[in-house]
């Protein structure tokens, strides 16, 4: 249609704090799969170190005992109640469980560092879009799906290449080590596996260093807001009574601070004398009427009088005119014609004081 308004749906504004908070509550947080994979590899190395230094020897001895003395364990299970076998298997499960606990702890630490932990029921709620074949095809064959596929292919190619090169270089050592004792062969195999994991770790560090900031940037782009969304959120926030009150309080503090800075520049301060105070500024070389630069009641009025005394600004008592100016004239606004006579009297008072100084 020719008379249709131009599209204002372009998302050009960064997400507000409110939208970021809502996204986190919905479980929509930036998360890097590569950083999680890096944490998993680090966890494997930590578990491998624990396996080699502490748990490994006991675990290997228990497995060896289970294999070499299978007949005695079978007799224990079928004829002796299985107490010895249960004790051995329980010890094995505890040691293996410790290794998995290390893996889980490292991955959780990675998620905490990424600030990617968010508990939201919306993530586990039934979403028909997730069941839609069309949406799944878009996700799988869209730009993001193709990017993930290419990235996974690069990772797979690197992994296969590293494994082939590494194993080919160590083939001779493997053949030579096949003649040694089982315990030493297992240790040799374990050390070579740890070296291979270190190669994968180096590659994964590079991937995570690229993917982590990229995912954060993509997440920020997904949360960007259009002009219409900004307007809608502003309307919603303006309708919130608490936000309104906080804005009024903040504006009042700012205005009050600016007013107090204006008092030393005033020509005269008119007072009630206790409850009201109005600071007026007048330039005789200007054609404009005197301007109200500060006003206040009660404790604010007392503060205005205090600053006026400290700044040698004359104070003039005129209760009716002071109350009228306070009610009718805003800060940075000229006085009204009905106040001219009273303010002229105040300025004459100031001139007389200055002549006698």
Identify whether the C-beta of residue 92 lies closer than 8 Å to the C-beta of residue 80: no
Q: Whole-structure pTM over 0.85, yes or no?
A: no
* pLDDT score for 1: 38
Alpha-carbon span 15 to 310, nearest angstrom: 47
pLDDT in tens, the chain (357 residues): 334 444 445 777 777 777 777 777 776 777 788 888 888 888 888 777 776 666 555 666 666 666 666 666 665 566 656 666 677 677 767 777 777 787 778 777 777 776 666 555 555 555 556 566 666 666 666 666 777 788 788 878 887 887 788 777 777 666 655 555 555 665 666 777 778 888 888 888 888 888 888 888 887 888 888 777 777 776 665 555 665 666 566 556 556 677 788 899 999 999 987 789 999 999 888 888 999 999 988 888 888 999 999 999 999 999 999 999 999 998 889 999 999 999 999 999 998 888 876
* pLDDT score for 8: 46
Alpha-carbon span 217 to 334, nearest angstrom: 51
Domain residue limits, the chain? 13-232, 260-355
Tokens of 227: 């002009």
CATH superfamily of 260-355: secretion proteins EscU (3.40.1690.10)
Secondary structure of residue 111 in the 3-state scheme: helix
CA distance readout (Å), 12 to 9, 25, 215: 9, 23, 19
* pLDDT score for 39: 83
Alpha-carbon span 120 to 108, nearest angstrom: 17
Alpha-carbon span 25 to 30, nearest angstrom: 13
């Amino acid at each position: 249609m020719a008379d249709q308004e131009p599209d204002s749906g372009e998302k050009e504004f960064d997400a507000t704090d409110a939208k970021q908070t809502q996204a986190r509550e919905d479980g929509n947080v930036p998360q890097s799969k590569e950083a999680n994979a890096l944490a998993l590899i680090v966890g494997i190395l930590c578990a491998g170190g624990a396996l080699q230094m502490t748990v490994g020897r006991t675990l290997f001895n228990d497995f060896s005992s289970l294999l070499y003395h299978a007949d005695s364990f079978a007799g224990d299970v079928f004829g002796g109640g299985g107490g010895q076998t249960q004790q051995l298997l329980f010890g094995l499960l505890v040691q293996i469980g410790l290794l998995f606990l290390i893996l889980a702890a490292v991955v959780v630490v990675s998620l905490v560092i990424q600030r990617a932990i968010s508990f939201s029921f919306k993530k586990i709620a039934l979403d028909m879009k997730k069941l839609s074949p069309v949406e799944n095809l878009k996700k799988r064959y869209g730009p993001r799906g193709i990017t993930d596929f290419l990235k996974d292919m690069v990772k797979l190619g690197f992994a296969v290449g590293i494994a082939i090169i590494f194993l080919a270089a160590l083939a001779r050592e493997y053949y030579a080590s096949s003649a040694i004792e089982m315990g030493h062969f297992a240790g040799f195999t374990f050390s070579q596996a740890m070296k291979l994991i270190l190669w994968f770790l180096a590659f994964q560090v590079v991937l995570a260093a690229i993917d982590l900031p990229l995912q954060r940037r993509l997440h920020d782009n997904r949360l960007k807001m259009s002009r219409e969304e900004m307007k809608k959120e502003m309307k919603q926030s303006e309708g919130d009574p608490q936000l309104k009150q906080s804005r009024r309080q903040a504006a009042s503090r700012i205005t009050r601070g600016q007013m107090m800075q204006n008092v030393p520049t005033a020509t005269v301060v008119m007072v009630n004398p206790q409850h009201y105070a109005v600071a007026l500024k007048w330039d005789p070389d200007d054609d404009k009427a005197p301007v109200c630069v500060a006003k206040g009641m009660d404790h604010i009025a007392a503060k205005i009088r205090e600053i006026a005394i400290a700044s040698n600004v004359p104070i003039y008592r005129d209760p009716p005119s002071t109350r009228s100016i306070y009610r009718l004239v805003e800060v940075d606004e000229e006085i009204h014609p009905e106040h001219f006579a009273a303010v002229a009297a105040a300025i004459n008072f100031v001139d007389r004081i200055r002549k006698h100084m």
